[in-house]
Amino acid sequence: MGHDGGAPVLSDASRELRSCMGRGPVRGSEGYTILQMVVTLAVVSVLASFALPSSVIALRNYRLMAAVSAATGAITATRYQAIMHAYPYNITFSTNGTYQVASEAPPATTFTNLGSSVPLSGNGDVTINQTTTLQFNANGTVSATAGGLSFTMTNLNNKVYTITVTGVGDVTSN
């Protein structure tokens, strides 16, 4: 209480302490200045410009690995179809990054496409070095009727994977 019995007297130090502890109004806390916002935005933009190229490279490499996985899976599945149905199947990989499966179901003497061609990558950023057709026989053996038993897949970063199929249908990629 004050000396006259009225309201307590607060010193300047007490007022400052109450203000710092959130018990009173803090001057200058209405918001951020335009300069603070511009500087913050500039710093964030610079940091994002460093992160974006590496993100794009990582995304392209991921798409290539997914395309390689899809190709090896399609080769294996086509071989299994030939064994299961006991007649020849083939799979053709095109340079535009798609593949097409076909079969020669008896009594046919030529291969007939099954469905339409399938893209290996949604963006089309994966290419194949040569058109390759692998033919699978009912006993599981494989031969190349176009291209070879190996082909490469490349992305826009020039990262390359080689897919190799052995004569008995084993598939490897590296």
DSSP bridge pairs for 162: 152
The pLDDT of residue 131 is above 80: yes
Place 124 in a pLDDT band, splitting at 50, 70 and 90.
Answer: confident
More confident residue, 28 or 139: 139
CB 112 within 8 A of CB 105: yes
Q: What is the pLDDT of residue 11?
A: 61
What's the token pair of residue 15?
A: 């007022």
Domains annotated on the chain, with CATH: 42-173 (3.55.40.10)
DSSP one-letter string for 19-53? HHTTSS--TT-S---HHHHHHHHHHHHHHHHHHHH
In angstroms, what is the C-alpha Rg of the chain?
34
Read off the pLDDT of residues 25-54 as tens digits, 9 standing for 90 and up. Answer: 555 567 889 999 999 999 998 888 887 788
Listed in sequence order, the residues at least 6 apart from 8 whose beta carbon sits closer than 8 Å to its beta carbon are: 1, 2
Q: Please give the distance of CA 127 from its chain centroid, rounded to a whole number.
A: 16
User: Angle 120-126-131 (CA atoms, 0-180°, nearest 5)?
Assistant: 75
Q: Please give the distance of CA 33 from its chain centroid, rounded to a whole number.
A: 40
Listed in sequence order, the residues at least 6 apart from 109 whose beta carbon sits closer than 8 Å to its beta carbon are: none
In this prediction, residues 103-132 reach a mean pLDDT of 93
